Amino acid sequence: MLAQPPATAPTLICEIHSAYVVRSQGLRDTPLCRLMIDQGYDVFALRDIWRCEPFDSDHVELVDLDSTYLEARCFINVLAVKTRDRLCADTFRLVHGVAPKLLKHRDPRLHWPLNTGDPL
C-alpha cells in the first residue's frame, strides 16, 4: 500500500511513542518515519494538544521533522503525504523549531500555536 504512486497513495496519520525516539537523532530516524520516507512520503510532526481543551489557532501547524523540538516525553503524531498538493494551503502551515505537543504549562514559544508559518 505504501508503494503506491502519489495519485493513489494514502495520506497517513500515525502516532509514535517517545520510547521509539532518540531525541538526539530526531524524528526522521525513527523506524516509522524512515519507512514512510523510504516509500516517498513527506512526513511532518502534527502539532496537537495533549487533552481536550480549547486553544486559538488559525491553521493546522505541521513541524519540519529536522527541526522538531523533542524535549517532552510524549506521543508524537505525524502526518505523511506523497504529494503536498493534498494539503490545502488555507488550512496547513509549516513551522520550524517548535514542539509537536501544545502544553499550556510550558514555554509558549515552543509549546503553543504560532499562528504563522509557511504555506505548504
pLDDT at 117 over 70: no
H or E, element range at 57: none
Residues 6+ away with beta carbon under 8 Å from 68: 26, 27, 45, 76, 98, 99, 100
**What is the DSSP secondary structure assignment for residue 8, as one 8-state letter?**
T
pLDDT at 80 over 90: yes
pLDDT at 72: 64
Q: Which residue has the higher pLDDT, 94 or 26?
A: 94
The mean predicted confidence, pLDDT, of the chain is 83
Q: Which residue has the higher pLDDT, 11 or 107?
A: 11
Backbone angles phi, psi at 117, to 5 degrees: 115, 170
| 58 vs 63: CA distance, rounded Å | 15
pLDDT at 35: 93
